[in-house]
Amino acid sequence: MSTLLKIDVSPRGDASLSRALADVFVDRWRSSHPDNKVVVRDLANTELPFVEMPWIIGANSDPGGHGPVEQQALAIGEEMIAELANADHYLVSTPMYNFAIPAKLKAYIDHVVRLGKTFSVTEDGQYVGLLTGKKATVILASLGSYSPGSPAEGYDFVVSDKPEKQNDGIEPQSSTHRRVRADARRNVDALLQAAKAVFASSGVDAPVREIAEKAGVGIGTVYRHFPERSDLVAAVSRREIDACADAAQILAAEHEPFEALAKWVQRYAAFIVTKRGLAKVLHSGDPAFDTLPAYFDQRLRPALLTLLKAAVAAGQVRGDVDANDLLVAVASLCMSAHNDGSGLAERMVAVLVDGLRYGTKPVARRSGARRQ
């Protein structure tokens, strides 16, 4: 029998995305391990003080000499260490807060990282983990996208702090290594921005030299990051998809639900019009583009769905419109051969979006109309 220890962090209960994903993981894990056990450590319901002096004294002294203050300071950590020791697989579900893990999860780590219990230090100063032979899965929910090539890629602490070589101990990256990675990320960022502008002005067949010059990098750098032109086109498309999906969250925070929806649909329409120029190359059958349709669907559908649901809930949009149908309808209007850059697509999309209000009853506006 093996035990899965599920460590939940988000305080958002049923609204939490990381918890919902972890529940899916647990369901699948249970179906493939029917006799096995799941133990839940819910940090949102765990009284977890930050480690302070009694904890430090207790953790670094002989338990025989501990008084009630040290015993109490260490108690919750010892309970959680026992859970870690008894489990075979750890599942951590956590939000990203301010480009890092939430303080509650850091407090958890501070409690369970204990010399002699969960790690030791060899004579030559190497750190060695003591709870060996375990598996760990981490599910992280964030509002923004940090995928490779996205504008915020450099803030992805999951990737940028990952040790290059996995071994039994801990192998931190050197500062030089981090700097090289940061430079590389800046180059990719500049290249993608330049490529987007050059593709828009000169088409996707524009000379690579033009893109390299605009980005301020050597031509070798372009080929190092994007060996084929199709790799560059795919990365630019992916980045555009991310920007469009991310705009949904920003618009939802800044506008009333219908307005946010209308603005986002126009944003999406503008993206489709740009994509029209890329249609030939995107449908060329090049394997670099294989994953793009799924990525498009995976990022844009939930973005629209969230805005649509909010507008329906606010009584500002009819409730029988499917998000997928709307995406397809807008794309069909924008792909029309009659779209000649005169703003026709924008006008047709505006009429379509206005029609979403058909059949709704006006609801009273609350004062202080802006949403959080």
Binding stretches for ligand FMN (CB under 6 A): 10, 12, 16-19, 95-99, 141-144
CB closer to ligand FMN out of 144 and 151: 144
Q: 32 or 98, CB closer to ligand FMN? A: 98
How many CB atoms neighbour CB 343 within 10 A?
A: 10
- Using the minimum distance from each CB to ligand FMN, give the nearer residue, 13 or 63: 13
CB of 95 to ligand FMN, least distance (A): 3
Q: Work out how close the CB of 360 gets to ligand FMN at its nearest, in angstroms, rounded to a whole number.
A: 28
User: What is the closest distance, in whole angstroms, from the C-beta atom of residue 105 to ligand FMN in the complex?
Assistant: 12
Contacts of 284 (CB under 8 A, 6+ apart): 230
Shortest separation between residue 303's beta carbon and ligand FMN, angstroms: 13
Query: With b meaning 16 or more CB within 10 Å and e meaning fewer, what string describes 47-80?
Result: ebeebeebbebbbeeeeeebeeebeebbebbbeb
Does residue 149 contact residue 190 with C-beta atoms inside 8 Å?
A: no
CA 104, 105, 109, 111 torsion-angle sign: positive
CB nearest ligand FMN: which residue? 95
Structure tokens that stand for 307 in this block: 């805005």
- Shorter beta-carbon distance to ligand FMN: residue 13 or 359: 13
Torsion 61-63-66-69 (CA) sign: positive
CB nearer ligand FMN, residue 298 or residue 336: 298
Q: Which is nearer to ligand FMN, 12 or 37 (CB)?
A: 12
Query: Of 45 and 201, which CB lies nearer to ligand FMN in the complex structure?
Result: 45
Label the pairing between strands 3-8 and 89-95: parallel
CB of 137 to ligand FMN, least distance (A): 15
- Name the residue type at position 269: A
In angstroms, give the least distance from the CB of 313 to ligand FMN.
18
As a whole number of angstroms, the distance between CA 310 and CA 316 comes to: 9
Q: How far is the CB of 220 from ligand FMN (least distance, A)?
A: 33
| CB 145, CB 242: distance < 8 Å | yes
How far is Cα 134 from Cα 61, in angstroms, rounded to an integer?
28
Q: Which helix (H) or strand (E) holds 208?
A: helix 208-215
